[in-house]
């Protein structure tokens, strides 16, 4: 009795499982997920060099900290 039961259990999920496989791949085919990762990649690169550039500007004014301090 164990033999026929095992066959039936594998036969039932066999067809549905095949149909479920092509469903997820279709969603992966869309360029939505890859585009999201590609967008944050470039901004991150520009964001890194942006902060250091601003820090370079305050370096000179820091030397003349005397005048800017009283003005504030």
Rounded to whole angstroms, how far apart are CA atoms 14 and 16? 6
The pLDDT tens digits for 43-54 are 444 444 455 444
Q: Are 39 and 32 in contact (CB under 8 A)?
A: no
C-alpha R_g of the chain: 31
φ/ψ bin of 62: left (φ > 0), alpha (ψ from -120 to 50), beta (otherwise): alpha
pLDDT at 69: 54
The pLDDT tens digits for 20-43 are 455 555 444 444 554 444 444 444
Rounded to whole angstroms, how far apart are CA atoms 24 and 40? 24
């Amino acid at each position: 009795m164990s033999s026929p039961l095992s066959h039936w259990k594998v036969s039932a999920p066999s067809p549905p499982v095949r149909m479920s496989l092509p469903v997820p791949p279709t969603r992966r085919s869309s360029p939505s997920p890859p585009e999201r990762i590609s967008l944050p990649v470039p901004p991150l690169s520009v964001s890194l060099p942006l902060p250091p550039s601003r820090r370079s500007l305050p370096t000179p004014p820091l030397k003349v900290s005397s005048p800017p301090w009283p003005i504030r």
